[in-house]
Every structure is written in C-alpha cells, then in structure tokens.
Amino acid sequence: MMFEGSWVALITPFDSEGRIDEDAFRALIRRQIKAGTTGLVPCGSTGEAATLSHEEYRRAIEITLEESRGDVPVMAGIGTNATWKAVELAREAESLGADALLVLAPYYNKPTQEGLYQHFRMVAHETRLPIMLYNIPGRTAVNAAPATIARVARDCPNVAAVKDAAGSLDQTSETLALCGPRFAVMSGDDSLTIPMMSVGARGVVSVVANVAPKETRALVDAFKKGDARKAAALHLKLFPLVKALFVETNPIPVKAALGLMGLCRPEPRLPLTPLSDAARPALKKALKDFGLI
C-alpha cells in the first residue's frame, strides 16, 4: 500500500440517544469518497475511539468498509494502552477486512522508548496488514523518537509509515533521514501539511478534511505536482478553518462544524462536551468565510 495523499480521520456521529448514527456516518463517508479523499480512517482520536464500546468499534469499521466497497482504502485505528489489547484489535480489524492499521503509541502508561518499540513490534508481528504508527505526544504523554520509529521500521517490514503529530519539523526531518525512502511520513497536523511535505512527507491524515475534503485533497495534489503557488494559496484559504477546528479539544469543534453544516448531530461523547458558546462565533465565521454555511 502507498501511504500518500489526503486521508481523513473520520468523526463518529452519534444520534439523539447517544448511539452511532449509522445513516449520518454512511452519508459522511460517501461525501468523502465523492470528494476524492485518498483513504478513510475510522476509530482514531477524531473518531472518539477511546469512548466506543467494542461492538461500536467493530460496527464503525464495518460501516466504513461497506461504504468504501474496496474502492478507497480503510485504515482502522488501533488505540489502546495495553499491548495485548492492541494485538486483539489488530487481529479483529484484519478479520473484518481493513486494508491497514493506524497503531497509536500507548497513552497514560508513559512507556520508555524500549517499551514503545516492543509494543509496536508485537502488534506488527501479529498481523499481515501494513501499519502506520501514530505519534501524538500531546495526547499520549510520550514521544516516539525518530530512532525508535526507524528501529521498528527496520525490524518490522509491514510498518511502512508514521502519522507524525509531534509538531516538530526537526523531528520530521530526522525521521525521514533515518527511515529512508521506503518509509512514509504523513502529517498529523493540518496546519503543517505543506511544511512537512516540503521536507519529504507524502500527505496528511486530516481533521479538516471532514468539512473540506476537496480542498484538502487539492492542496496535497498541488504540492505533489510541484505547484507550490497553488498549494500555498489553498493552505492560506484553509488555515483559518483549521485554526477554528482546534479552538477546543478535537473533535469538539469539527463535530460542531458538521452540525452547523447539517451533516450530523454536533454532540461528542463524555468526557468531551459540546462546543462552548464562547468558541461558537469564531467557528461559524470560519465556516461562513469558507462558504460551507
């Protein structure tokens, strides 16, 4: 699998009873496919995977696979702080038909670099699927160092990429230098997609693509084709929207945005709460300025 382009970190919509809103979820996925999104990522942090029951986790992946119909790759999120559970989830996602796995660095435990290596290695050895590591120290409280990522990639042939949300171009550059051309780095921060691609990243796993999938794909495509002027213009157009979508903890604002667009209910699941009244005007302005409402 080629990890490149614009992948969307899908939200998980809930209905008025707090259950997965399957109709809204299917419509959101179809919207992504129609817009040309490269790949679909259910059950990540944007999808509130940490609050889904096991049955909901399975169902979210099943729905994504049903709607993708094999035309768009599906990368299932594997986010847990227990290695044995990550292995079980990886096996389950593979059995359901997922095309790849996004394996999160364990949160809360704060493992050492050796612990991170052993965690990723064990998951990789228990599946045949290609794996993208997910490094987001702001949520996990641990940073997977470039040397650790390179060690995992060297010892596990199916570990082919990292979603880099560490927020450091120095770290991105070091990861690319250590891992070599076989290994793909994908931006995990929408505001850093062009800077990261300028040093060798191949695309983005995006939050803003939930609301602006065509423009996110167009930005990545323009940069890949060498049209830096067009890519920069799209970046500057998207930037106010990106900032508005992170005015509170993700995915609170993006769900509120999709609610304002009439695409799903805006409520996240506790302990996340709906967007505050103080943050709502800025989000509405960004959506209006972009032409989404």
Of 108, 163, 225, 284, which is the active-site residue? 163
Quick check: is 134 catalytic? yes
Quick check: is 107 catalytic? no
Q: Return the H-helix or E-strand segment holding 161.
A: strand 159-164
- Our count of domains for the chain comes to 1
Is 273 inside any structural domain?
A: no
Give tens-digit pLDDT for 248-288: 999 999 999 999 999 999 999 999 999 999 999 999 999 99
Is 116 inside any structural domain?
A: yes
Is 250 inside any structural domain?
A: no
Of 57, 107, 117, 134, which is the active-site residue? 134
- Sequence-ordered list of residues with C-beta below 8 angstroms from that of 261, at least 6 positions apart, any chain: 211, 287, 292, 293
Is 81 inside any structural domain?
A: yes
268 in Cβ contact with 255 (< 8 Å): yes
Beta strands in 237-283 (DSSP E): none
Tokens encoding 218 = 């167009």
Q: Which domain holds residue 28?
A: 5-223
Average pLDDT (207-232) is 98
Give tens-digit pLDDT for 6-63: 999 999 999 999 999 999 999 999 999 999 999 999 999 999 999 999 999 999 999 9
Is 202 inside any structural domain?
A: yes
Is 17 inside any structural domain?
A: yes
pTM: 0.96
Is 287 inside any structural domain?
A: no
Query: What pLDDT is stored for residue 212 in this prediction?
Result: 98
Q: Which of 284, 270, 197, 282 is nearest to 48 (CA)?
A: 270
Q: What is the DSSP letter of 110?
A: -
Is 237 inside any structural domain?
A: no
CATH code for the domain of 27: 3.20.20.70
Query: What pLDDT is stored for residue 52 in this prediction?
Result: 97
